[in-house]
Chain A
Amino acid sequence: MSAIDAAGPGTPAPPAEGEAVRIEGLRKSFGANEVLRGIDLSIATHEVVCLIGASGSGKSTLLRCLNLLEPIDAGRISLWGQQITGAGVDQNLVRRYVGIVFQSFNLFPHMSVLRNVTLAPIKARKVPRAQAEEEARALLRRFGLLDKEADYPDRLSGGQQQRVAIVRALAMRPQIMLLDEVTSALDPELVAEVLDVIRELAANGMTMLIATHEMGFARDIASRVCFLADGAIVEQGPPSALFTEPKDERTQKFLRRIVEAGRL
């Protein structure tokens, strides 16, 4: 995905290099429960950052805040130097630059695969239908899903549905992709095909923030791994460093449990 590809007619293309995402002092509570307690994170263009941590540590919340699906309580988020969490920001426009894929796929059950993929480009990017379908088919072919274009989501396996969800997000030509534990709901034998898709995206230079439990995958693909605990980034660094010599005690404890479970 070239960074020069605009997110739609009339939208400016962001810079091809440099800092893509900056998160400063992000706080988010749900009622009395403070989930994110001051997150500071910077992601450069083409970087692939993996978020790891126990359930409830705030990984999903962080991703949803980045996509403006959740309003934040304090702090700020900037994309390419422009703040997106202030007042008067066009949220729909921001979301065209940042794609997100969910753990539970969330495909639209009343639409065929092709329509799932083309709906947003037609309505939000204002692409004509014929062109949108052509682009959609190209994406589906690229990920081996073209023969399923007329099927409805509940006829597909979990792995296929998740890959369609990724294609659906990609159809909007985002510059940044957020992946929220996208393989956690899949049976083990279906995980690989989804990971392959993500690998390909990374290889093509997509800026990504990936929340995952797949440690082996994280070690392979990430340029940086962040460990989240109790709503803050406890430790971050290249996977080679973090996985072999974690500095913080909480990181060590977490990794030990992962190893014991045989997942690293």
Chain B
Amino acid sequence: MRRILSTVAAVAVSAGIVACGSSAPSGTGSPASGAGSCSSASVQKDLYKKGQLTVATDSPAYPPWFENNKPSNGKGFESAVAYAIAKQLGFKTSQVAWAYEPFDASYAPGPKKFDFDINEISYTPQRATAVTFSESYYDVSQSLVALKNTPIVSKHTPAELKTYVYGDQVGTTSLSFITSQIQPTAQPKVFQTLNDVKSALQTHQIAAFVTDTPTAQYISSSEIPGSIMVAQFPSTGEHYGLLFSLGNPLVTCVNKAITALKANGTLAALQKRYLQIYLSVPTIKP
């Protein structure tokens, strides 16, 4: 019975997410509705560990999503969002505990050791068969990162894009973007971690890699010397959601929290603070 209920809930949540799509934060829903039914006292039974909200992310946790690889300092977009949601649910800052979950394990099936995972994980229909996603907290577009003064910086028509050797992290939507949208003639190199991908770029083993725009901006301006964010690609409707174990009822209250944060402008303010794209980047077709 519980299984049927949670499956229905998952389907409902997924349907809700698809319906919301990649739209800009809209002021729907009244923030005060059902405040009582989603307080920290009433969600205790759904928590992984009573008395605390366990939030997971990967390590290292990269800027601009986190800072100094310390999720608990509240700095960085995702860290701030997590604490904002916790506050919305009635948790004190001290009641938020952080857990470690490597990216490619997060969407594996089975029970989770956290309440939700916040780690730039995009919703995909396949992943949603194994885990439950919240509403979008950030709409994503992919961007291209390469080294300065390399051919791809100036030659990147769709036909030219097919000729380069790309690299990316296994299991990411960025990799899927390369294989399904760019469709290069040479097989891309597929690495286990983002750090390996960055290494490969620096040692000229790959011509470029794809990642979400804020990360691309951060890497090219602060991390890899001599690199440049070549361009961004048009959005394909991708968005980041918080990840829950399949059928976790907590997602309902979290979605209410996200809606509230969108309505009162908190989410927009955090996006502006951490994810502002300063450079004007051309948009190119894949």
Complex: A in contact with B (CB within 8 Å) = no
